Amino acid sequence: MTASAPSLAARLRADETVITAWSTLAVPAMAELLGRAGYGAVTLDMQHGAHDIASIREGIAAARLGGAHAVVRPPVDDFATVSRAFDLGAEAVIMPMVNTVEDALALVGASKFPPVGVRSWGPHRAAMLQGRTPAEYLATANDETVAFAMIETPAALDALDEMLAVDGLDGVFIGPGDLSLTLSEGRELAPSSEKVQTIAADVAKRARAAGKIAGIFCNNAEDAKSARRMGFRFISHGIEMSMLLDAARARLAELD
């Protein structure tokens, strides 16, 4: 990805749909390959995946080399890693389990420089990857770093309108698996259920009305297509571990 390429923030705010791959294996080369395969973004998962600070440092650069935007999902409540991910060159962060307006404010605080947030200065790697001077990076950073709050619980749904009013929160990202678990009090995992999909559509509508970006994790192609029709513009479709397994099985099946 060249320094002159549109940022992820610019593409999403222009109402362009960006499809992200999901990376759980701490193998930076996979991020490059996913970009070369045509994904618009690669999300490096530190919450449920094997990624750590070392692997996201290399994975961010690898994704950019492959032509994709780099996104990071930190562990729950790890707001320090939000700032570090942006310092390392991530263009967006998806913070899991944001359930209150206080959580949303903490996310913004770690994502944005003053006066919007309280992010500390240190994006030397990010500026280098983007081919910018420190002054150039600072001039655009608050506009070009995307802070997504994951909506995964009834509490988050109850606080949604308050969170959407938070200055500096760029978007919300539906986690349909956890949403189905929490709504059913642990009785079912049903991310594609009519109930979850209806809620997702409502969240997308409210987010867009508030001028925010709507994102979602999708488990299959039909859900991804439906999400686009609902108004989601940042859509996850494809976990690299599953794609590798499917490709290996298909290759072996050719010998049958």
pLDDT, tens only, 181-236: 999 999 999 999 999 999 999 999 999 999 999 999 999 999 999 999 999 999 99
Q: What are the residue numbers of the active site?
A: 48
Query: Which percentage of the chain shows pLDDT scores above 70?
Result: 99
Beta bridge partners of 218: 237
Q: d(Cα 59, Cα 40) in Å, to the nearest integer? A: 15
Looking at residue 4, its pLDDT comes to 73
Looking at residue 157, its pLDDT comes to 98
- Return the CATH number of 8-253, one of 3.40.1190.20, 3.30.420.40, 3.30.230.10, 3.20.20.60: 3.20.20.60
Question: pLDDT by residue (tens digit) across 119-135?
Answer: 999 999 999 999 999 99
| Torsion from C-alpha of 153, 239, 14, 98, nearest 10 degrees | 20
The whole-number average pLDDT for the span 37-66 is 98
Looking at residue 3, its pLDDT comes to 67
Find where tokens 């978007």 sit.
171
- Tell me if residue 145 falls in helix, strand or coil: coil
What residues does each domain of the chain span?
A: 8-253
